[in-house]
Amino acid sequence: MIAYLLNLGVFFCVNAILAVTLNLIIGYAGIFTMAHAVFFGIGAYTASFVAIHFTSSLLVVTLVAMLAGGALSFIVALPALRVRDEYFVAASLGVQMLGVTIFSEWKSFTGGLGGVLNIPLPTIFGYEISSPVEFFILALSGLVLVVVISRSLARGSFGRNLMAVRDSESAALALGKNVAAIKTLAIVLSSSLAAIAGTIYAYYLSFINVQSFTVDTSVLIMAMVIIGGAGTIYGPIVGAATLMLLPSALSYLWFLPPTEIGSIQQIIYGLAMVLLMIYRPGGMVSSGGKDAR
Amino acid sequence: MTISHNLALKDDITMHTDPKTASSKQARLQLSGVSKRFGGLQAIDQVTLDLEPGIVTTLVGPNGAGKTTLFNTITGHIKPDSGSILWKGKSIVGMAPWKIARLGIARTFQDLRLFTHMSVQENVLAAMETRSWLWQSGGHAAQKIRDEKVAHTLDITGLADMAQEKANNLSYAERKFLSLARTLVSGADLWLLDEPASGLDPPSYDLFLKLLRDQVNRGVTVCIIEHNLDIVVGISDKIAFLDQGRLIANGDPREVLENPELVAIYFGERKL
């Protein structure tokens, strides 16, 4: 049971990191990207490549993964500077498709469809992290780090700049805000922080393949942000917890036939999403419907 | 209130304030032969106009005369096809809007464009934080100064009680004052205000006029787009009359508004 909970805990932390980082772009900057899983993937593949070929040092691997995520985020930043709203959603879906194709085809780096196997265990100053408890502490530390960074950014002038751009780009420009730089910086930061989730994920499973980085993951993370509360500090964490724990909770309901749990889960997801958007469009952590976007 | 009554009132105000004594000679915007065409429409046609420090110039003209396009051209949202725009003696044509704004040119919008999901206080703070990247420099001391400046701005614009309210939840007049508060706190020397006083009740209008005159007396250059002639005569030191993109009159409010041909154009009765 403890092992099960620790396993769930690690996956929750990974997803919560992705939701918190996506919230910086969706909730604060108002850029609805459907390609966040690509940066999760870039983080995971880069981390596994560096870990296998160069060093198992967690700090070095994480840093390289973050640099890769940040550097490659221009593929989302470029369309975000050109188009808005539904046009950007379409462009970001293109980025997601492109990402999945490269992950599937670039065999020397990603292992193709088969993925990357035997990723070595991470070490911190020579100490090897191997037990489930240690991995949970690592994942939780990653989440805390990302939340602390996002929180301080969102509550300060950077957060206000993002929200200003989100609420009225033309007014932000007229007040002297370099909108293009603000958007780019938000995307670079969010993508490089998302790579932390990729690193933890790759190390924990010691095996990754493209299945974890598809559009389904992007949609799931976006759902976590919206259900929890876009543009709030803790909403995405609540959203991640809800969407991670619900399937587990359902599996404990003895009266549900195990073969049907999958479909029941989908029905509950769908219903919850519709009801939430009707009664609490700002998400679970919000001041209610009045201020919702 | 009649136009003539308002003219008398305005004389009264300007007598006490005399903008020329307070004006710094610096904050001058000079437009020369500025033109902009959208497809088959000549939106602005060879407009030459000086906006002087300590002077309120009001752009008047029928709908589609090119008033807002002229604002957009000054602020860099639209690049003119020809002509020059000098701000404090330097050309600003072709510069990005945010760079022009940082030179001290602020504008408001007819539809206000507030940061609707941010609080009143955050709206004003955001207007001050133009140069910050990840955080503001200066630490707690600078933060304290900024907070005081925000509090003062909210105080004089009558928004102090609503500091924590979302901009979305404000009344119409309060929204207009928030838009003005953002301009005020930005520290700009040139204010381009798009219908700032329309829809204000008399007490709000008086507060607006007081705020505006205070700034004008400090040497701020103001250009206003306004349709309501009562407001026009109450506010203006000069009137620039635009029609079909052309500047057809520019000068003393009395002369412009008492010109029967211009009045006929304004009320859609006749074209020059």
A225 assigned to some structural domain = no
Contacts of A129 (CB under 8 A, 6+ apart): A58, A121, A122, A123, A135, A138, A203
- Residue B264 binned pLDDT confidence (cut-offs 50, 70, 90): confident
Q: Is residue A41 one of the residues assigned to a domain?
A: yes
Question: What residue ranges do the domains of chain B occupy?
Answer: 3-104+188-266, 116-185
Residue A272 forms part of a structural domain: no
What's the complex ipTM? 0.86
For B3-104+188-266, CATH gives: 3.40.50.300
Asked if A211 and A149 touch (Cβ cutoff 8 Å), the reply is no
- Strand stretches in chain B, DSSP E: 29-38, 41-51, 56-60, 82-87, 90-91, 105-107, 190-194, 221-225, 238-243, 246-251
φ, ψ of residue B91 in degrees (nearest 5): -70, 135
What proportions of chain A, in percent to the nearest 5, are helix, strand and coil? 75, 0, 20
- For B131-194, give the DSSP string: S-SSS-TTHHHHHHHHHHHHHHHHHHTT-GGGTTSBGGGS-HHHHHHHHHHHHHHTT-SEEEEE
Residue A275 clears pLDDT 70, i.e. is over it: yes
pLDDT of residue A54: 96
State residue B199's pLDDT score: 87
Span B50-79, mean pLDDT? 94
Q: Which of A152, A160, A184, A232 to mutate to test the interface with B (most CBs of B within 10 A)?
A: A160
Q: Which of residues 214-243 of A touch B (CB under 8 A)?
A: 231
Residue B156, chain A, CB below 8 Å: the answer is no
Check CB contact under 8 Å for B114 and A293.
Answer: no
**Chain B: nearest CA to A74, how far in angstroms?**
18
Q: How far apart are CA A221 and CA A40, in angstroms?
A: 11
Chain A residue numbers touching B107 (CB-CB < 8 A): 174
Structure tokens at B55: 């002077």
Q: Which of A95-104, A200-209, A226-235, A266-275 has the lowest average pLDDT?
A: A266-275
Residue B26's pLDDT is 66
| A173 close contact with B: CB closer than 8 A | yes
Nearest Cα to Cα of residue A286 among B122, B166, B162, B121: B166
Answer yes or no: is A248 within a domain: no
> Is residue A212 within 8 Å of A63, Cβ to Cβ?
no
In this structure, is residue A53 part of a structural domain?
yes
B118 touches chain A (CB under 8 A): yes
Angstrom distance (rounded) from CA A26 to CA B87: 38
pLDDT of res. B20: 42
A57-61, B58-62, B261-265 — which is least confidently predicted?
A: B261-265
pLDDT score recorded for residue B271: 53
What pTM value is reported for the model?
0.88
B130 inside 8 A of chain A by CB:
yes
CA A219 to chain centre: 10
CB-based contact (8 Å) between A291 and chain B? yes
User: A84 lies in a domain?
Assistant: yes
In this model, does residue A3 exceed pLDDT 70? yes
Q: Under an 8 A CB cutoff, do B136 and A157 touch? A: yes
Tell me how long chain B is. Answer: 272
| Structural domain boundaries, residue A91 | 2-214
A289 contacts chain B (CB < 8 A): no
- Taking CA–CA distances from B122, the nearest residue in chain A reads A160
Chain B residue numbers with beta carbons less than 8 Å from the beta carbon of A156 are: 134-136
Which residues between 28 and 87 in chain B have a beta carbon less than 8 angstroms from any beta carbon of chain A?
75, 77
Give the residue from chain A lying closest to B126, CA to CA.
Answer: A160
- Which tens digits make up the pLDDT trace of B160-171? 999 999 999 999
- The reply to whether B129 touches chain A by the CB within 8 Å rule is yes
Show residues of chain B in contact with A152, CB under 8 Å: 135
Condensed to tens digits (0 to 9), the pLDDT of residues A53-107 reads 999 999 999 999 999 999 999 988 988 888 888 899 999 999 999 999 999 999 9
A208 min Cα distance to partner chain B (Å): 33
Q: What is the number of domains present in chain A? A: 1
Radius of gyration, alpha carbons of chain A: 19
CA dihedral (A263, A265, A267, A270) positive or negative: negative
Whether A82 and chain B come into contact, CB under 8 Å, resolves to no
Residue A247 falls inside a structural domain: no
Q: Which H or E run includes A101? A: helix A85-105
Q: Which of B107, B133, B135 sits opposite A174 (nearest CB)?
A: B107
For B100-131, what is each residue's pLDDT tens digit?
Answer: 999 999 999 999 999 999 999 999 999 998 88
Residue A239 forms part of a structural domain: no
**Residue A36, amino acid:** H
**A-B contacts (CB, under 8 Å):** 94
Beta strands in chain A (DSSP E): 123-124, 127-128
Of the listed ranges A6-15, A35-44, A278-287, B236-245, the least confidently predicted one is: A278-287
The tokens of B104 are what? 């001290």
Q: Is B107 touching A (CB cutoff 8 A)?
A: yes
pLDDT at A222 over 50: yes
